[in-house]
Amino acid sequence: MVYWKLIVATLKARMEYKATFLFFSLAILFYYAGQIGVILTVVHRFKTISGWTLGEMAFLYGLLIFSQGITALIFNSLNTFEEFTIQGNFDRVLIRPLNPLAQILCSRFEISSVSNFFIGATALIFGSRLSGIEWTLGKLLMLPTVIVGAVLILGGIRVFVAAAAFWTIRNRSLVHTVVYSSKECIYYPISIYNGAVQFFLTFIFPLAFVNYYPSTYFLNKSGDTLMHPLLQYLTPLVGVVVFSGSLFFWKKGMGKYQGTGN
């Protein structure tokens, strides 16, 4: 399969400089370890954050980081999509008999996101045990479904931001603001924010469905959900809606693309 060959070639290229790959992976580990240290310090000082204990906070964080790892693995190439449009590489993508978006995604798989998997899985296991989650069959089946939904949300956001480059040419500032900085809003439960911010993170920019709402389901904290307990089950549906919307926006953007010569 052509796409698989593109992925393998990308992985080989990323692994060519093994020392660089190792140092980058370690840097990611230290970065997230530092974030965990901050959260631990805050929880140790105040005991709980908006009613969330240390174990619950760890689970909330782990769900985000694990989903972020899968998203980075698949959608990392979109963070530098402006280079495709500015340098004219997207013109070559368009003349190939393959899906343009799929080609972009296969052009740069971020294998170093294995660090995210390690940190995320560790936080999930630690949080699960410390908070005493009872893993029923329903919860075991719900976990991978929630992760897929979260990846669709995070990936859809990256597609939206990349597609904006069809109009703006450069979108680096959007990448840093929307893709990287925005997730800091959900390191903590959104219940710490006022109603307007909670509404924004639920219905306008639905990052709360990545980890907050599903965590209330796994942790049996339905009383903490915003507006209605049903929200804790909607991550997969929101993921499909966000990603479908991003694909529509991407197709609209491709219709506006005029190439580097115009």
pLDDT per position as a tens digit, 14-56: 556 566 656 666 666 676 666 667 666 766 676 788 889 989 9
Strand, coil or helix: what is 49? strand
Mean pLDDT across 143-168 = 95
Question: How confident is the model at residue 210, as a pLDDT?
Answer: 97
Lowest mean pLDDT among 119-123, 181-185, 225-229, 230-234: 225-229
Higher pLDDT, 74 or 1: 74
Rounded CA gap, 87 and 80, in Å?
11
Q: 64-73: per-residue pLDDT in tens?
A: 999 999 998 8
* pLDDT level of residue 257 (50, 70, 90 thresholds): confident
- Local structure of residue 220 (DSSP, 8 states): T
* pLDDT level of residue 151 (50, 70, 90 thresholds): very high
* pLDDT level of residue 148 (50, 70, 90 thresholds): very high
Higher pLDDT, 2 or 126: 126
Rounded CA gap, 172 and 138, in Å?
41
Residue 9: pLDDT over 60: no
Specify whether the CB–CB gap between 69 and 75 falls below 8 A. no
Lowest mean pLDDT among 1-5, 151-155, 190-194: 1-5
Assigned token pair, 85: 């449009």
Residue 84: pLDDT over 90: no
Rounded CA gap, 254 and 218, in Å?
40
Question: How confident is the model at residue 142, as a pLDDT?
Answer: 97
Strand, coil or helix: what is 87? coil
Specify whether the CB–CB gap between 148 and 236 falls below 8 A. yes
Mean pLDDT of the chain: 84
Residue 132: pLDDT over 90: yes
Domain edges within the chain? 2-256
Residue 256: pLDDT over 60: yes
pTM for this structure?
0.86
Report the 10 Å Cβ neighbour count for 192. Answer: 12
Higher pLDDT, 242 or 229: 242
Q: How far is CA 1 from CA 6, 8, 101, in A?
A: 9, 11, 16
Lowest mean pLDDT among 4-18, 97-111, 126-140, 238-252: 4-18
Question: How confident is the model at residue 262, as a pLDDT?
Answer: 47
Residue 163: pLDDT over 50: yes
Assigned token pair, 259: 């190439």
